[in-house]
Amino acid sequence: MGCFLSKSNAQADRLNDIKDNTAPLPQQSLVTDPAEYRPYSDKNGSRDAPATSENAPRYAPAASEIAQSYGFKRYEYKKLAIATNYFSNKCSIGEGGFGIVYKAFLDDDDVAIKKLKIIKLENKLEEIEYLSVVRHPNIVKMIGYCSEGDDRLLVLEFVPNKSLRHHLHDEDKFLEWPKRIKIAINSARGLLYLHEECKPKIIHRDIKADNILLNDNFEPKIADFSLANFLPDTGNINHISSILRGTNIYADPEYGDKQRVSEKSDVYSFGVVLLELITGRELSDEQGNTIVNWARSQIGQALDNDDYTDLVDSKLEDMYNKKEMIRMIYCAAASVYKPSYSRPTMKQIIGVLEGTISHEKIIDRKDIETIQGRPTTSLESLLGIERAQIFSPRMFSFEELAIATQFFSNNCMLRDDNYARVYRGELDGMAVAINKLYLWEGEQMEVEQMVNPINHNYQYLNKLIGYCDEEYDKFIVYEFVPNKSLRFHLHGHKKTIDWSRRKKIAIGCAKGLAYLHEFCTPMVIHGNITSHNILLDNNFEPKISGFELGQVLSNFVARISTKAMENRGPEILKDGKISEKADVFSLGMVLHELISGKPGKATFPWTWLVGYLAPEFLKDGKISEKVDVFSFGVVLLELITGKPSVIREGNFSMNLVAWVAPQLAEAFNTHNYNSIIDVKLQNNCEIIEMIQMIHCAAACVYKPAKTRPKLSQIVEVLQGNMKSESIWIHSDNTYLKDGPQY
């Protein structure tokens, strides 16, 4: 439900002309631009003349002075408590991500009082006075606030006619077309005011049908704009979404972990609102298909065939202006399906909706082709990058690394990976992980050549610092990642990883691999994707590591395959059952012998690696990006099921891929996924997001190598802006009968 509900008071009703009712937020710093307008001083809302070099004030008035001039009041908590019958549920009219809204009678008028939840805002709430001068007929007016101890409340004008969502989706309501186009245009005017006429600009960050409130004349008023101004301006979607839960379908898919928000994020969300106005559909259906995904193909077909029957809300029948409808469709498509850098501005959207500018200014034929099924964002936007950041790794001497690790003391050892012993050290004040590589008998290893492909600086890759390439001593030095591996947190730790972090890890890893496969020139193939090589920082941001084994593993595959055939390795990988003649454990022993040059031991710990190896890799030893895709699919299965790549129960062991296949086939038929979802999640996951990840895992693991998806497609599906059906359709379920084709 909407967070702010309000009603126009007498003063707001007098503000009919947008030009006379918009005002920049006053600057509290030194005024240096002689053309800059002074803040409001007239009670009727008129502006002073532009300041000149002669009459410009040296400093703008303090926020408290400005607030006072507009009657912006600071209330006592007790007074607001009494006005709401001590915050009785009887007075509650809505609840949102920031708090509960109560209707009250205060100062001889109906008001909405928002009691904020305890959340950490970057600025003091008192500074919200600074926004009291925001004046626009399509923006909810702020009347006052309360700040006592831990209690924070906002007093807002009350809008009596509920939200746009109520009128669109309540079965007993019907919103006529003239009202829909009016709401679209005037809501866009409100957003334009926040984006371009407020100084500094205000980015809403939570545009949705719930936050577009309607008065008795169906004039829209945008709510919840103010608190967005006090959230961290870092673009951290995890922080924002933790407050704005349940609104992810409105969220800009390019609004990534490191990307700073902009007004283009609001444009995307407004485009989703336009889709609701056009189609009358809920945000997602019972199958989990979002309105954005559903409308993609419908819009393309409607525009191609000039037939809008299947797209337009059936309640409207033919009672709409076709030209206006087409203009709104183009605005929605340009806002939602174009990459952020080419989305229209709100000013352009208003122009197209009103018919004063052509839709071709914001969307062209090529864009329509994109709507009909091609990726919705550029690779650069999808990955949050502008250009490859390549650097030259530093060459260290053996002595430098020995000193950094206290001469390779066990006190500094982090782990023994059987292909490298990893030590924590410090170089030039930086914490590093120093990988001391084992030498393989009969193998020549040029570390300098090994590190050349991985000298990229990208947020989801474990940053390479340098290397040592001496005759008998080979090292690779990475940035130290403090929170151990995904494998540890999934399979070796009592505490589980919650769903939001699992999804975050999956998307980050997919972006890292997409960067290597699709952005780097030449392409970089990892060759060793496992949950053990996905490291996590303290915020559970994933960092892909372990490149060094991938660079040499393929050298052994021909010999591995020969030994595996003697032990019926391919058969076990096909049916997942282990016996004395088909033993995954024995394949692990072969890997150990070939890599270490030592006889296998009964305690050999590497059998889990077999579960990540693609069937074609075992057959011919040729490594390709599709091998990485397969291995990543196994990691997704681990995130979904909570089970390791090789499952052991007593004397019985089974490949995770083989274990999942029959249960997944049943789940796809019954739409009940409980048998494969990690019991530790205890239903604490978003089922739509879970199904998206399941489809991604299935497409990566069970489809033939040539038809496995690209990692950029996986990112799009996991982020929800591309249909799962684009990578896995119903007929693909046949691949589950026999499992991967070894």
CA distance 98 to 245: 10
Residue 642 in contact with residue 716, Cβ under 8 Å?
Answer: no
CA distance 419 to 440: 9
CA distance 656 to 422: 28
Q: What local confidence, expressed as pLDDT, does residue 370 receive?
A: 56
Q: What local confidence, expressed as pLDDT, does residue 742 receive?
A: 52
Average pLDDT of the residues in 395-406: 94
Neighbouring C-alpha atoms within 13 Å toward the C-beta of 403:
7
CA distance 545 to 409: 23
**Per-residue confidence band for 483, with pLDDT thresholds at 50, 70 and 90:** very high
Average pLDDT of the residues in 387-408: 87
Cα 728 to Cα 124, 713, 732, 733, 739, distances in angstroms: 49, 11, 6, 8, 15
Average pLDDT of the residues in 117-145: 68
The predicted-structure confidence for 354-377, as pLDDT tens digits, reads as follows: 999 999 999 986 677 656 545 556
CA distance 52 to 524: 59
**Residue 310 φ/ψ, nearest 5 degrees:** -80, -20
Residue 201, token pair as written in the block: 């600009």
CA distance 76 to 97: 24
**Mean pLDDT of the residues in the chain:** 77
Burial zone of 608 (CB within 10 Å; 0-12 exposed, 13-18 middle, 19+ buried): buried
Q: Is the pLDDT of residue 40 over 80?
A: no
Q: What local confidence, expressed as pLDDT, does residue 315 receive?
A: 93
CA distance 460 to 458: 6
The predicted-structure confidence for 260-307, as pLDDT tens digits, reads as follows: 578 999 999 999 999 999 999 999 877 667 888 788 778 877 887 788
Q: Which of 67-81, 162-176, 301-315, 631-645 has maximum average pLDDT?
A: 631-645
Q: Which residues fall within 8 angstroms of residue 261, CB to CB, at 6 or more apart?
A: 203, 205, 233, 235, 252, 255
The predicted-structure confidence for 578-617, as pLDDT tens digits, reads as follows: 444 444 545 555 555 554 444 444 333 445 577 888 988 8
CA distance 57 to 733: 72
* 130 vs 686, higher pLDDT: 686
The predicted-structure confidence for 416-472, as pLDDT tens digits, reads as follows: 876 788 999 999 999 999 989 876 544 556 776 676 666 678 899 998 899 998 888
Cα 403 to Cα 302, 406, 444, 499, distances in angstroms: 69, 5, 26, 41
* Active-site entry in 42, 108, 150, 206: 206
Residue 84, token pair as written in the block: 């709401």
**Per-residue confidence band for 729, with pLDDT thresholds at 50, 70 and 90:** confident
**Residue 147 φ/ψ, nearest 5 degrees:** -140, 100
Share of the chain above pLDDT 70, in %: 70
Q: Scanning the structure block, which residue is given the tokens 């490291």?
A: 535
**Per-residue confidence band for 682, with pLDDT thresholds at 50, 70 and 90:** confident
CA distance 693 to 678: 13
Average pLDDT of the residues in 535-544: 95
For residue 206, indicate whether it is catalytic: yes
- C-alpha dihedral, 307 to 313 to 314 to 320, nearest 10°: -70
Residue 462 in contact with residue 543, Cβ under 8 Å?
Answer: yes
Strand 99-106 and strand 92-95: pairing? Answer: antiparallel
Q: What local confidence, expressed as pLDDT, does residue 128 receive?
A: 58
- Across-strand partners of 95? 100
- Across-strand partners of 214? 220
Out of 181-190, 235-244, 422-431, 664-673, pick the least confident.
235-244
Q: Is the pLDDT of residue 114 over 50?
A: yes
Q: What local confidence, expressed as pLDDT, does residue 33 receive?
A: 31
Q: Is the pLDDT of residue 237 over 90?
A: no
Q: What local confidence, expressed as pLDDT, does residue 596 receive?
A: 47
Q: What local confidence, expressed as pLDDT, does residue 5 receive?
A: 34
Q: Is the pLDDT of residue 81 over 80?
A: yes
**Per-residue confidence band for 244, with pLDDT thresholds at 50, 70 and 90:** very low
pTM: 0.52
**Residue among 462, 489, 507 at smallest CA distance from 258:** 507
The dihedral built from the CA positions of residue 137, 41, 346 and 292, taken in this order, carries a sign that is: negative
Residue 240 in contact with residue 305, Cβ under 8 Å?
Answer: no
Residue 218, token pair as written in the block: 């169906």
**Residue 737 φ/ψ, nearest 5 degrees:** -65, -45
Q: Scanning the structure block, which residue is given the tokens 């299935």?
A: 698
Full 3-state SS string of 176-203 = CHHHHHHHHHHHHHHHHHHHHHCCCCCC
Cis peptide before 339 (omega within 30 of 0): no
Q: Is the pLDDT of residue 241 over 80?
A: no
Residue 81 in contact with residue 97, Cβ under 8 Å?
Answer: no
H/E segment holding residue 490 = helix 486-491
**Residue among 566, 616, 558 at smallest CA distance from 587:** 566
DSSP 622-656: ---HHHHHHHHHHHHHHHHH---SEEEETTEEEEH
Residue 14 in contact with residue 186, Cβ under 8 Å?
Answer: no
* 717 vs 455, higher pLDDT: 717
Average pLDDT of the residues in 398-418: 90
* 72 vs 604, higher pLDDT: 72
CA distance 717 to 481: 28
Q: What local confidence, expressed as pLDDT, does residue 245 receive?
A: 35
**Per-residue confidence band for 143, with pLDDT thresholds at 50, 70 and 90:** confident
Strand 534-536 and strand 474-479: pairing? Answer: unpaired
CA distance 740 to 742: 6
